[in-house]
Amino acid sequence: MTEKLILDGNVVANEVKDALKSRIQALKEKNITPCLATILVGDDPSSATYVKMKGNACNRLGIESRKIHLPKETTTEELLNTIHELNEDSSVHGILLQHPVPDHIDERQAFEAISVEKDVDGVTSWGYGQTALGFGLYPSCTPAAILQIMKHYNIDAEGKHAVVVGRSPILGKPVSALLLNENATVTTCHSRTTDLPQFLKTADIVVAAVGKPNFIKGEWLKDGVVVLDAGYNPGNIGDADYSSCYEKASAITPVPGGVGPVTISMLLKHTVDAAERR
């Protein structure tokens, strides 16, 4: 059986956060407190939990967390006004609009309203385009987390076949671009892909970003594959079927404790980066 490496997201996240402490201290000596504004629209319990977790992570590190909670009846125009105010506020360094917003709001328009200098979650088309071209300030946090895990564990993408399952604007597409920039040969699969297992069986690296619990099966994978599971479904279940994928993998992220904690640490890092750039 292949030797296994469990890719421990808590170890990677702590390393990222530890490296931020002296940088935050240096900013505070200049009377600058890095500040992340989070906007939550409506009462979706999962979104409320994510925003709370992000706020707590900020507080633990000495980053200010400014939480803006808008009612579910908020219009696109009202949300845009809130974003414009935060863009103008020089004490705010990063803005995160929690996805998803209620259906009647034009989410894309709201994302685009975030100033690119404060787009610490890489949701604007400018941010995405710059990331794809290799000079972006802030890639989306989950794709950045996946690359950070690979860096920490010396997993080199160059020349490898990376198969990303999912093509969402915040996850599948940007992680495909980042892996391509790392010189992987990238295949991006989605709901219209015909015969997904055919692509997965030649994958050296698999990124699971489907939003379906236990979707990727170990029997579709080749021995020695690296499995990076971004999935986070109710009940703390990933998008890869852990036990069967574990059998095939040389390295695998668990859920929970894999990509999730690193995603939050990348958000903190991007906020500190943004405060320093100011």
Residue 176 makes contact with ligand NAP by CB under 6 A: no
CB hemisphere CA count around 38 (13 angstroms): 23
At 121, the amino acid letter reads: D
Angle between helices 259-277 and 141-152 (to 10 degrees): 110
Q: b vs e for 243-253, b when ≥16 Cβ sit within 10 Å of the residue's Cβ?
A: ebbebbbebbb
Catalytic residue among 121, 204, 239, 241: 121
Q: Does residue 204 carry a catalytic annotation? A: no
CB nearer ligand NAP, residue 168 or residue 250: 168
Please give the residues from 151 up to 170 whose contact with ligand NAP meets the rule CB under 6 A: 165-168, 170
Q: Where do the DSSP E strands lie in the chain?
A: 5-6, 35-41, 64-70, 94-97, 161-165, 185-189, 205-208, 225-229, 249-252
192 near ligand NAP (CB under 6 A): yes
Q: Which residue's Cβ lies closest to ligand NAP?
A: 168
The closest of 65, 12, 69 to 260, measured between CA atoms, is 12
Contact 249, 221 (CB under 8 A): yes
Nearer to ligand NAP, 50 or 95 (CB): 50
Query: Which one of residues 111, 138, 220, 232 is an interface residue with ligand NAP (CB under 6 A)?
Result: 232
Q: Give least dist CB 158 to ligand NAP, A.
A: 25
Order across the sheet with 64-70: list the strands.
Answer: 64-70, 35-41, 94-97
Q: Does 214 bind ligand NAP (CB under 6 A)?
A: no
Q: Is 98 a catalytic residue?
A: yes
Does residue 189 bind ligand NAP (CB under 6 A)?
yes
Residue 54 annotated as catalytic: yes
Interface with ligand NAP (CB under 6 A), residue from 36, 196, 205, 245: 196
Tell whether residue 40 is a contact of ligand NAP (CB under 6 A).
no
Catalytic residue among 98, 119, 160, 248: 98
Which residues lie near ligand NAP (CB under 6 A)? Answer: 142, 165-168, 170-172, 189-193, 196, 209-212, 230-233, 239, 259-260, 263
